[in-house]
Amino acid sequence: MNYYLLLLGIVFLNIKLKKEGGFYLWIGFYLFLISAVVNIAKSVDLSEVIIRIGFVFLLIGFASAVREYKTDK
């Protein structure tokens, strides 16, 4: 899976959606939960793919949250 394309895709999508950092953080969190359930159900490889996608969302969401914090400050 090309995570750079995923990253670019999310960034371009956000230009249209204009969502807060929290939106992506929550997506990342839910993907983490899904990955946990899949991992416990012993589908380790699938779980790893999901958590990696979730991590990308967490990184994007966190970066946005930092930007918002700096702007609010």
Partner 1 sequence: MWRILTLVLLVPLILVGIWFKDGYLLGASEDGLIFYNVSSYYHQAQYAWMEYPGLGSPSVALIAGKPTYFFLSFLQGLGIPGFLVQAGVFYFLLISAGIGVYLLVHDLFPKLSKNYVLLSILFYWFNPIALYTILSRSLLNYFFFYSAIPIASYFYIKGLRTRKFSWIFGLNLSLLLYSYIFSYVAFTLLLWFWLLLITVYFVLFYSHKFFALKYFFLSIMLFLICNSWWIFPMIALNISGGAKDSSQSFLQQTNFDTLTAISKSIGNLNGIFKLVNTSFVSPDSLNWAKLYYSPVLSIIQYFFIGAVLFFIIKKRKEAEVLFIGSLFLTVIFLAKGNNSPFGEIYQILFKKIQILQIFRNPFEKFSFLLSLTTSILIGPSIYSLIDKLEDNLRRLSYLLVLVCLCGYLGYPLYSGLALTNTFPPTNDYSIGYKVKVPDYYKELDEWLNSKGDNFRYIGFPLAPEGITYKWEKGYTGLELPVSLFDSRAILLNTTTSFFKQIISQMEMTLLSDKDFSLLANLINAKYYLLRYDIDYKARGMTDPSIIEKSLLEKEKKGEVKKLTTFGKVSIWENLRWEDSQFYPANKFIKVNNFDKDTTFTSIDVLKKEVLIDLDDSSKLGRLVEVKETILPGIIYEKINTTKYILHLKNAGDPFLLVFSELYNDGWKASYKDQELNNHMRVNLYANGWIVDKRGDFDILVEFAPQKWMDIGEKISIVSIFLIIGGLYFVFLKYKREGA
31 interacts with partner 1 by CB under 8 A: no
Of 6, 25, 16, give the one whose Cα is nearest residue 67: 25
34 interacts with partner 1 by CB under 8 A: no
Return d(Cα 25, Cα 47) in angstroms, integer. 18
User: For the chain, how big is the Rg over CA atoms in Å?
Assistant: 13
CB of 19 to partner 1, least distance (A): 14
CB of 48 to partner 1, least distance (A): 5
Return d(Cα 66, Cα 6) in angstroms, integer. 21
Q: Contact positions toward partner 1, by CB under 8 A? A: 1, 3-4, 6-7, 21-22, 25-26, 28-29, 32-33, 35-36, 39-40, 44, 47-48, 51-52, 55-56, 58-59, 61-62, 65-66, 69-70, 72
